[in-house]
Amino acid sequence: MVAYVQSKGWTTFDEMQADRKALKGKCDELEASRSTMNDRMAYLEKLLDYHAQYEPYQKVNAEYWKLKKAEDKNGKPLGFFKKSQAEEYKRKHQTELNTYKIHRDVLKDMIKEPDKKINPKAWQKELDGLREKYQKTERPLSEATLNLAKMEVLSHNKRDLERMLQNERGQKEHEINRTRRKDHNMISRNLE
């Protein structure tokens, strides 16, 4: 601990307490920042997880609209019994198309941003950036926590030393008083 105190350049406990207060503020700031990042990462992970469930239905819907647009552009097949490919695809995949709409609505309700856009690439990019930033705060927070613990040990040792010195003073005073009483009793007996 002596080397630690010397490395910090402290000469009084007040200097240590001032550093401790500043370090505690930094530590609280880092923890608050990490908590905010944690919340945002959990939100993005939840969106990405739900998007993974939504994606297969989105592909079915995209294929339907691709067929529909091609038919609208080229014209529908002629003949009473000829069904369009889009309508046939829709009939075969009606369950998936309905599920797509449900998942899309749920996913849009989950999105907190005002534009409500489903943008998994942007979510993943933000999540990766947050993870990197979160990881960069790991070391400074660990060092701050370690330094705070060392300062707490020093404060505890100081309080313990003060208590021991107080006990020694009390013991010495008690010894002096006992010796005085003993001397006083001897003098009183000798005078009698």
Per-residue pLDDT, averaged over 72-80, amounts to 62
Please give the pLDDT value at position 191. 66
Residue 115 clears pLDDT 70, i.e. is over it = yes
What is the pLDDT at residue 53?
95
For the entire predicted model, the pTM comes to 0.71
The pLDDT value recorded for residue 83 is 66
pLDDT of residue 44: 97
Mean pLDDT of the chain: 88
CA 105 to chain CA centroid, Å, is 29
Q: Cα 2 to the chain's mean position, in Å?
A: 34
For 38-65, what is each residue's pLDDT tens digit? Answer: 999 999 999 999 999 999 999 999 999 9
- Provide the pLDDT for residue 52: 96
Long-range own/partner contacts, residues 125-134 (CB < 8 A, 24 or more apart)? 126/40, 126/44, 127/41, 127/44, 127/45, 127/48, 130/37, 130/40, 130/41, 130/44, 131/41, 133/37, 134/34, 134/37, 134/38, 134/41
- Percentage of the chain exceeding pLDDT 70: 94
CA 115/CA 62 separation, integer angstroms:
21
Q: Largest Cα–Cα distance of the chain, in whole Å?
A: 143
Which amino acid, one-letter code, is at 16? M
Number of neighbours of residue 100 by Cβ within 10 angstroms: 21
Which tokens hold the place of 1?
A: 């601990």
Residue numbers of the domain that contains 56: 2-191
With cut-offs at 50, 70 and 90, classify the pLDDT of residue 77: low
Q: What is the pLDDT of residues 151-169, one digit of tens each?
A: 999 989 888 888 888 888 8
Instruction: Tally the domains of the chain.
Output: 1
Give whole-number Cα distances, 113 to 75, 95, 117, in Å. Answer: 40, 29, 8
Q: In terms of pLDDT, which residue wins out, 88 or 188?
A: 88
